[in-house]
Amino acid sequence: MKGVSDLFISKEKLAFFWFFVCVAILAGTGWYVNDIAGDGKSRMLYVMVNRPDVMYLDRDLQPETASDLFDTQTRLALETMLNRAPNGPVTQKRVAKIFGGPALEWLMKDLAENREEFRSRQYHQMAEVGSVRVFLGEDGGAIAMATGQVIRVGVDPVQQKVVNQVFNLGARLVWEPNINLRDNKLYPHTCREAAYTLTLVSES
């Protein structure tokens, strides 16, 4: 049978054992966090630049990943541009964030030219983007060609009946790196050129 002094010695050794275990865990955690922080410092998600001739390309961005990114942005841009109500784009706040330069001017003109018709006929329009082909550029930008359909529902002001129209959609968008990431963090690229065509395929 162990004496009282032996019990105290055992407890002291056990305390030292768990103390060293805790120290080892803390040291390992600190090393891991420091390693992760070091990796994070070597890569930047965004680089804030105000010069149009300075572009940032992520060294780990593979062509497949870049194409997927431009595909998603093209679909979002077309929905922003073509999803309209009688009073204008459904997502008006996104227009100036996605489009810039000549593309924004062109879109504002297109909206102005169609505003009266959308109001008088109470048109509601929705784009359904089908395929998107992306052609990557060497400057971090891309050209996207898209096809799909546009569905438009309104009221004939003369006959006072509901009109349903379906159009085939063809669109071309030119993308460039967004140099205003400070204000538009969610949009790594800006559409600088845009054009679309609608071909009526059915009306009822």
Q: Select the more confidently predicted residue: 144 or 55.
A: 144
Closest alpha carbon to 175 in 126, 202, 148, 140:
140
- Model confidence band, residue 159 (pLDDT cutoffs 50, 70, 90): confident
173 closest CA partner among 155, 149, 192, 157: 192
Supply the pLDDT for residue 55.
Answer: 45
0.85 exceeded by the pTM?
Answer: no
Cβ within 8 Å of residue 164, ≥6 positions away: 151, 152, 153, 202, 203, 204
For residue 28 the two structure tokens come to 């390992």
161: amino acid identity, one letter: K
- Determine contact, residues 150/164, Cβ cutoff 8 Å: no
The CATH classification number of 63-203 equals 3.10.450.230
- pLDDT by residue (tens digit) across 78-99? 999 999 999 999 999 999 999 9
Higher per-residue confidence, 19 vs 60: 19
157 against 181, higher pLDDT: 157
Output the pLDDT for position 186.
80
Domain boundaries, the chain: 1-42, 63-203
pLDDT band at 23 (very low <50, low <70, confident <90, very high): confident
